Copies of this chain bind each other. A is one copy, B any other.
Amino acid sequence: MVYNSILSNVTRHISLSEEECLYFTSLLEYKEVAKKSHLLKEGETCKSISYVHSGALRAYCIDNNGKESTIMFAVADWWITDMYCFVNQLPAMMYVEAIQGSCIFQLRKDALDQLLNTMPKFERFFRILMQNAYTREQLRVIQSLSLPAEERYDNFILKYPQIAQQVTQKQIASYLGITPEFLSTIRKNKSKRFLS
């Protein structure tokens, strides 16, 4: 059943009756998105949060100098959106793009509000989701402030091996906050050291 993976994602944190599952899934919109297509662009209102059933997406933003920074990757079983603009229904600061052909379930803001009001146990689910996202970002801050680029790269590969396989070096570089040229030199130095 198509809903298996998203339901097991949810029931990892809260338990649902059959009816509750039905109600929850009735709020979802299934979508297939082509590689390189955008779910969201800067300035648009961010209407939905997306669960990745399969494929891979990426959220990024572009600063005043045109520099791109990758905010997050989302592979199978991850949730992704421009959270700040989604919850406050403000114009998006981010782009969300499919980096692989992907299948996703979208939950619109009004549907989420309805879900939270009619089934309060989903408050717990999203509390835990937010809690995990928060602690993950906090760790990332500390690492970006205290570790040199090479160690940040090592940690990324260790922590997200499956993501590292699916994205380009340029995208990893923009996630780590370094230039693609510099990531290339880092990798060259690593293999040099490895050979000697």
Contact = CB atoms under 8 A, between A and B. Distances in A.
A116 to B, nearest CB: 7
A127 B142 CA distance: 23
Given A83-B134, A121-B120, A131-B87, A146 B71 contact: no
Contacts of A120: 120-121, 123-124
A83 B128 CA distance: 12
A154 interface: no
B177 A145 contact: yes
Contacts of A147: 63
Contact of A123 (B127, B133, B135, B146): B127
B124 A84 contact: no
Interface of A: 61, 63, 67, 69, 71, 83-84, 87, 116, 120-121, 123-124, 126-127, 130-131, 133-135, 137-142, 144-147, 176-177
Assembly stoichiometry (copies): 2
A160 to B, nearest CB: 15
Given A71-B138, A137-B141, 14 more contacts: A63-B147, A67-B146, A71-B141, A71-B142, A120-B120, A120-B123, A120-B124, A123-B124, A123-B127, A126-B127, A127-B130, A140-B141, A144-B177, A145-B176
Contact of A83 (B83, B126, B131): B131
A61 B141 CA distance: 12
A84 B131 CA distance: 8
Nearest first, the 4 closest Cβ-Cβ pairs linking A and B are: A145-B177, A130-B130, A137-B137, A127-B127
Nearest to A123: B123
B69 A142 contact: yes
